[in-house]
């Protein structure tokens, strides 16, 4: 029996009338990777945000190594031995790598009120070297590095001082395979040093692989704590959803031929610095997958198809010969796009659900020419929100109130409402829980059967394999392999073309 | 059981939002009524007796506010409005000697041209709107001073003869009604709100955001160019201080009317009407009470700050995860 590191006791937290965490109690041991899972809005992040001082605690206690802690901010949490790696970008632009690593702890390098930058850089560089990230230079501005490298800087920042507990919140969804491997390595190291990791992830195979113990939350309530070795994926899903997840997860069919009818033809598309000479055809009723490392240019391919790339050359042509060179043209010809950056590029955050759904279809929701009909808009929004079963108060609610999964549903309602024939879905299930994921997969399958064509760009290899008729693998801005749908296809054959 | 509690909280959330909306829409109206009553008491009813005189300065503010309202909904600001009004008034006065209809058109064209300059630097050169418009404010303020350095620019006699309440009310009502229809019942309003609430997402939703932004600045300039006609028939001539501080008046009026300073989907059209009235009652009231200009500005500043604080859109910064 291993020693208890953290006791969570009767923890509660409400936001207005929403009870985000309700009377949660459980223990976390030393030297273990303890996964925290649950659907969106189940309270995982709220809980860890209280532990790391981002939110205040309403009631209940955290007892770390026998001592009650209530940090008021992240620096205090660090001093107690608790650190966090967040889902999105956690480094600050405009500061150097070293300044980011020692943010809030600069006093170590200050003598008589003057900061010794050299000592700080030296110390940071030796840490980076120790972690094997020697190619990152401590004195460089953090802005000079890409998303992946900045995540590595965050790993150093969160773990260099041997914290007793490291919280890793949904970090892996934002990382490519390579970055994940790096993170896994660090996780194993921290565990072997006898310290604890609280691991939040939606990726159940990853959770089973990486963690020793798993705690499940549902609607802010504690459900169960289980040993990873004694449960499988279906068992976890059952605990998370509270009932059996029935039906197929991915589409069940194999061996259906792809139609020969081309609906979208991409020829020699180049976006400087991003992709070069990309050519492919999308067929009617086909789900065409794009896989690769996140820097491979695959996300730009989606934008280029939708007419949203800056400085693009080459051509994107529809079956009727229309050239797609701008977003309005794409939308007018029934194309749709969901961005990987959902909050900034897909939903208009501070606007109502209704206006978000109606946005591309406004021309059709009129009473007199040019004059909008409020009742038609309301009816339209309600119809498509209901079709996607968006969880909301009503369509006047602002999108910013919704969880990630529900935001994505709003985006999809918009494009279904606009009767899109060609959908470019970039990371459609990123950071979304199983139930909504399944909904989205089933929706894609239905659309495919109705003759709609889908380009699916994803960093999750399993969903590409499970959903696509054809997968194009990108590497360094070019297509580096084509794989056809087959039951024998596995992740390794995709990875082989990616790296 | 669980479903039951969800239903209740859904009702509660709906109720809470309706209450918040009611407070937001009633506060400016309540403010207007209270300020009006307070000043009538302070001036022993003088304000009520001279109401038509007090209200005569509302027309220009209300018309020009309509254009700025569109700019602000879109998330921009426009500090060049006073200079636009002054410049356009000079043009109206000059051209009025030839033909009145031509003078109206020339005023609108002048406003639109300055708006186009704002729009060009804002959209094409990607400079923040308040910086661009502060620059054009100084630029055209300078030109106004240059043009009026020897003598005020006089309007023709025909122009001054048009100075009737009926005409001014009709023109103001026309602009406000057209603006209301465009904002509430056409794509224009929803596009503006979408740009204000999330420009990148608006672009990916099919809005030509750059073109919209440019055109809205042109439109705001054109509307104020039309306000210059009303201004000219009222004052008859333009001096070096023509249109001075109108930009701040408009900004204060809109904020008093409940306009969130960052624009977006919470913008309400009523801000224009209530806000302009409230501003005019407040400023003429302070004047009638006999306060010095310094004290008036001080009080306006305090009121402005309070309203900005009340209507700031903090809610969208709140995060629930």
Nearest chain B alpha carbon to A303: B204
- CA–CA separation, A115 vs A103, rounded Å? 13
The predicted model gives A105-114 an average pLDDT of 84
* Range from A226-235, A448-457, B136-145 carrying the lowest mean pLDDT: A226-235
Tokens representing residue B260 in the block: 């969130």
Q: Which residues of A touch B197 (CB under 8 A)?
A: 348-351
pLDDT score for B38: 87
- Tell me which residues of chain B have a C-beta less than 8 Å from any C-beta of chain A: 2, 9-10, 12-14, 16-17, 181, 185-187, 190, 193-194, 197-198, 200-208, 264-266, 313, 316, 318, 320-321
Q: Do A347 and B207 touch (CB under 8 A)?
A: no
* Closest by Cβ to A348, choosing from B186, B197, B208: B197
- What are the domain boundaries of chain B? 29-318
| pLDDT at position B282 over 90 | no
Under 8 Å between Cβ of B230 and B63 = yes
- CA–CA separation, A241 vs A250, rounded Å? 18
Q: Do B16 and A17 touch (CB under 8 A)?
A: yes
Under 8 Å between Cβ of A200 and A172 = no
Chain A interface mutation, best of B201, B261, B318, B320, highest count of A Cβ atoms under 10 Å: B201
- CA–CA separation, A169 vs A189, rounded Å? 18
Nearest chain B alpha carbon to A414: B205
* Closest by Cβ to A308, choosing from B197, B204, B266: B204
Summarised one tens digit per residue, pLDDT across range A179-203 is 888 889 999 999 999 999 999 988 8
| pLDDT at position A116 over 90 | no
Helix (H, G, I), strand (E, B) or coil at A265: strand
* Closest by Cβ to A371, choosing from B186, B201, B320: B186
Handedness of CA B155, B156, B161, B164 (dihedral sign): negative
The predicted model gives B238-254 an average pLDDT of 89
* Closest by Cβ to A350, choosing from B10, B197, B321: B197
Considering only CA atoms, which of A64, A1, A51, A66 is closest in space to residue A21? Answer: A51
Summarised one tens digit per residue, pLDDT across range B183-202 is 999 999 999 999 999 899 99
* Closest by Cβ to A348, choosing from B17, B202, B208: B202
A92 Cα to chain B: minimum distance (Å): 19
pLDDT-based confidence at residue B9 (cuts at 50, 70, 90): low
* Range from A127-141, A283-297, B302-316 carrying the lowest mean pLDDT: B302-316
Q: Which residues of B touch A328 (CB under 8 A)?
A: 206-208
| pLDDT at position A467 over 50 | yes
Please name the fold of domain B29-318: ABC transporter involved in vitamin B12 uptake, BtuC (1.10.3470)
| pLDDT at position B8 over 60 | no
Q: Which residues of B touch A363 (CB under 8 A)?
A: 187
Chain A interface mutation, best of B21, B177, B205, highest count of A Cβ atoms under 10 Å: B205
Under 8 Å between Cβ of A38 and A221 = no
- CA–CA separation, B249 vs B271, rounded Å? 13
Considering chain A, what is the average pLDDT of its residues? 89
pLDDT score for A317: 95
Q: Which residues of B touch A362 (CB under 8 A)?
A: 187, 190
- CA–CA separation, B206 vs A412, rounded Å? 15
Q: Do A347 and B198 touch (CB under 8 A)?
A: yes
| pLDDT at position A26 over 50 | yes
B143 Cα to chain A: minimum distance (Å): 39
* Closest by Cβ to B13, choosing from A17, A332, A372: A17
B308 Cα to chain A: minimum distance (Å): 18
Higher-pLDDT residue of A2 and B120 is B120
| Placement of tokens 């789900």 in the chain | A287
- CA–CA separation, B223 vs B245, rounded Å? 17
- CA–CA separation, A359 vs A418, rounded Å? 9
Q: Do A372 and B198 touch (CB under 8 A)?
A: no
Tokens representing residue B249 in the block: 């008046």
**In chain A, pLDDT over 70 holds for what percent of residues?**
97
pLDDT-based confidence at residue B321 (cuts at 50, 70, 90): very low
A394 Cα to chain B: minimum distance (Å): 8
Chain A interface mutation, best of B6, B20, B198, highest count of A Cβ atoms under 10 Å: B198
pLDDT score for A27: 94
| Placement of tokens 């939040």 in the chain | A200
B106 Cα to chain A: minimum distance (Å): 28
The predicted model gives B249-268 an average pLDDT of 87
Summarised one tens digit per residue, pLDDT across range A141-150 is 988 888 788 8
Q: Which residues of B touch A358 (CB under 8 A)?
A: 190
The predicted model gives B144-152 an average pLDDT of 90
Summarised one tens digit per residue, pLDDT across range A225-263 is 999 999 998 888 888 877 665 667 888 888 888 999 999
Q: Do B321 and A49 touch (CB under 8 A)?
A: yes
Q: Do B194 and A339 touch (CB under 8 A)?
A: no
| pLDDT at position B318 over 70 | no
Q: Do A350 and B313 touch (CB under 8 A)?
A: yes
pLDDT score for B320: 32
Summarised one tens digit per residue, pLDDT across range A369-426 is 889 999 999 999 999 999 888 888 888 888 887 877 889 999 999 999 999 999 999 9
B155 Cα to chain A: minimum distance (Å): 39
* Range from A62-71, A94-103, B89-98, B154-163 carrying the lowest mean pLDDT: B154-163
Chain B interface mutation, best of A348, A355, A371, A377, highest count of B Cβ atoms under 10 Å: A348
pLDDT-based confidence at residue A124 (cuts at 50, 70, 90): very high
- CA–CA separation, B190 vs A414, rounded Å? 15
* Closest by Cβ to B205, choosing from A18, A20, A360: A360
Distance of alpha carbon A84 from the chain centroid: 17
Tokens representing residue A436 in the block: 């909504």
Summarised one tens digit per residue, pLDDT across range B32-84 is 898 888 888 888 877 777 777 777 889 999 999 999 999 999 999 999 999 99
Tokens representing residue A462 in the block: 């399993």
The predicted model gives A473-499 an average pLDDT of 87
| pLDDT at position B4 over 60 | no
Q: Do B200 and A344 touch (CB under 8 A)?
A: yes
- CA–CA separation, B305 vs B298, rounded Å? 11
Nearest chain B alpha carbon to A19: B9
Q: Are strands A213-218 and A33-37 parallel, antiparallel or unpaired?
A: parallel
**In chain A, pLDDT over 90 holds for what percent of residues?**
53
Q: Do A344 and B201 touch (CB under 8 A)?
A: yes
| pLDDT at position B111 over 70 | yes
Summarised one tens digit per residue, pLDDT across range A281-312 is 999 999 999 998 878 899 999 999 999 998 89
Helix (H, G, I), strand (E, B) or coil at B306: helix
Q: Do B198 and A348 touch (CB under 8 A)?
A: yes
Phi-psi region of A243 (alpha: psi -120 to 50; beta: other; left: phi over 0): beta
A434 Cα to chain B: minimum distance (Å): 17
Q: Do B185 and A400 touch (CB under 8 A)?
A: no
A-B contacts at Cβ under 8 angstroms: 108
Task: Give A91-124 as a DSSP string.
Answer: SPTTSBHHHHHTTT-GGGGEETTEE-HHHHHHHH
Summarised one tens digit per residue, pLDDT across range A337-350 is 999 888 889 999 88
Residues 6 or more apart whose CB falls under 8 angstroms from that of A268 comprise A277, A278, A279, A313, A314, A315
Task: Give A126-159 as a DSSP string.
Answer: HHHHHHT-TTS-TTSBGGGS-HHHHHHHHHHHHH
B212 Cα to chain A: minimum distance (Å): 13
Listed in sequence order, the DSSP H helices in B56-128 are 58-73, 81-95, 100-119
**In chain B, pLDDT over 70 holds for what percent of residues?**
93
Q: Do A345 and B13 touch (CB under 8 A)?
A: no
* Closest by Cβ to A350, choosing from B181, B198, B320: B198
The predicted model gives A343-362 an average pLDDT of 91
| pLDDT at position A90 over 70 | yes
b/e sequence A208-218, b meaning 16+ C-beta within 10 Å: bebbbbbbbbb
This model's pTM is above 0.90:
no
| pLDDT at position B149 over 80 | yes
pLDDT score for A192: 92
Q: Do A348 and B316 touch (CB under 8 A)?
A: no
Of B39-48, B103-112, B162-171, give the range with the top mean pLDDT.
B103-112
Considering chain B, what is the average pLDDT of its residues? 87
């Amino acid at each position: 029996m291993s020693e208890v590191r953290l006791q969570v006791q009767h923890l509660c937290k409400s936001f207005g009338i929403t009870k985000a965490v309700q009377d949660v109690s459980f223990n976390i041991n030393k030297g273990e990777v303890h996964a925290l899972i649950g659907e969106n809005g189940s309270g995982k992040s709220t809980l860890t945000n209280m532990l790391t001082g981002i939110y205040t605690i309403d009631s209940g206690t955290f007892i770390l190594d026998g001592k009650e802690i209530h940090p008021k901010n992240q620096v205090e949490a660090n001093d107690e031995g608790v650190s966090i790696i967040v889902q999105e970008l956690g480094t600050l632009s405009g500061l150097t790598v070293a300044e980011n690593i020692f943010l809030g702890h600069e006093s170590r390098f200050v003598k008589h009120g003057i900061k010794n930058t050299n000592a700080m850089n030296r110390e940071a560089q030796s840490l980076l070297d120790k972690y094997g990230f020697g190619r990152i230079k401590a004195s460089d501005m953090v802005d000079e590095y890409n998303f992946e490298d900045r995540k590595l800087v965050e790993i150093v920042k969160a773990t260099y001082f041997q914290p007793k507990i490291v919280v890793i919140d949904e970090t892996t969804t934002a990382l490519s395979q390579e970055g994940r491997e790096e993170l896994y390595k660090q996780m194993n190291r921290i565990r072997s040093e006898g310290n604890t990791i609280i691991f939040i992830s939606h990726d159940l195979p990853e959770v089973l692989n990486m963690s020793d113990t798993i705690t499940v939350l549902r609607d802010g309530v504690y459900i169960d704590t289980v040993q990873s070795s004694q449960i499988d994926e279906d068992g976890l899903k059952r605990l998370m959803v509270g009932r059996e997840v029935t039906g197929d997860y991915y589409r069940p069919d194999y061996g259906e031929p792809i139609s020969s009818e081309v609906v979208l033809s991409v020829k020699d598309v180049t976006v400087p610095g991003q992709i070069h000479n990309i050519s492919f055809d999308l067929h009617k009723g086909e789900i065409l997958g794009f896989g690769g490392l996140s820097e491979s240019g695959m996300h730009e391919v989606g934008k280029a198809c939708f007419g949203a790339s800056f400085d693009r050359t080459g051509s994107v042509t529809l079956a009727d010969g229309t050239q797609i060179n701008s977003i309005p043209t794409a939308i007018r010809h029934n194309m749709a796009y969901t961005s990987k950056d959902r909050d900034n590029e897909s939903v208009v955050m501070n606007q109502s659900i209704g206006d978000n759904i109606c946005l591309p279809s406004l021309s059709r929701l009129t009473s007199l020419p040019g004059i909008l009909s409020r009742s038609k808009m309301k009816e339209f929004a309600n119809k498509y929100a209901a079709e996607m079963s968006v969880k909301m108060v009503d369509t006047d609610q602002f999108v910013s109130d919704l969880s990630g999964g529900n935001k994505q549903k709003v985006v999809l309602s918009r494009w279904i409402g606009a009767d899109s024939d060609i959908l470019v879905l970039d990371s459609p299930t990123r950071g979304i829980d199983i139930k909504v994921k399944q909904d989205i997969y089933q929706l894609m399958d239905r659309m495919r059967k109705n003759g709609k064509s889908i380009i699916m760009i994803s960093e999750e290899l399993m969903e590409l394999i499970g959903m696509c008729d054809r997968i194009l693998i990108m590497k360094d801005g070019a297509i580096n392999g084509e794989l056809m749908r087959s039951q024998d296809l596995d992740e390794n054959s995709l990875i082989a073309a990616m790296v | 059981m669980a479903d039951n509690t969800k239903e209740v909280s859904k009702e509660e959330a709906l109720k809470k939002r309706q209450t918040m909306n009611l407070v937001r829409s009633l506060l400016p109206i309540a403010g207007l009524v209270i300020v009006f009553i307070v000043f009538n008491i302070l001036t022993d009813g003088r304000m009520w007796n001279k109401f038509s005189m007090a209200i005569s300065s509302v027309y220009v503010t209300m018309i020009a506010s309509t254009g700025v309202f569109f700019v602000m909904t879109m998330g921009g600001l426009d500090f060049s409005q006073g200079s636009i009004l002054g410049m356009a008034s000079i043009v109206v006065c000059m051209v009025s000697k030839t033909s009145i209809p031509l003078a109206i058109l020339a005023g609108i064209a002048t406003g639109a041209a300055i708006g186009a300059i704002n729009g060009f630097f804002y959209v094409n050169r990607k400079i923040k709107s308040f910086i661009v418009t502060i620059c054009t404010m100084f630029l055209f303020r300078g030109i106004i001073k240059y043009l009026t350095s020897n003598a005020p620019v006089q309007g023709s006699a025909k122009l001054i003869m048009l100075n009737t309440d009926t005409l001014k009310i009709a023109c103001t009502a026309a602009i406000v009604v057209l603006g209301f229809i465009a904002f509430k019942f056409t794509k224009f309003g929803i596009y503006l709100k979408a740009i204000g609430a999330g420009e990148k997402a608006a672009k990916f939703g099919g809005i030509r955001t750059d073109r919209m932004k440019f055109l809205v600045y042109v439109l705001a300039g054109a509307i104020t160019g039309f306000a210059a006609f009303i201004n000219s028939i009222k004052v008859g001539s333009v001096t070096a201080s023509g249109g001075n501080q109108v930009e701040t008046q408009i900004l204060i009026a809109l904020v008093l009317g409940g306009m969130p300073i960052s624009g977006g989907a919470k913008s309400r059209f009523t801000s224009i009407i209530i806000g302009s009235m409230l501003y005019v009652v407040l400023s003429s009231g302070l004047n009638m009470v006999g306060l010095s200009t310094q004290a008036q500005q001080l009080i306006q500043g305090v009121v402005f700050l309070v309203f900005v604080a009340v209507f700031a859109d903090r809610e969208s910064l709140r995060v629930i995860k």
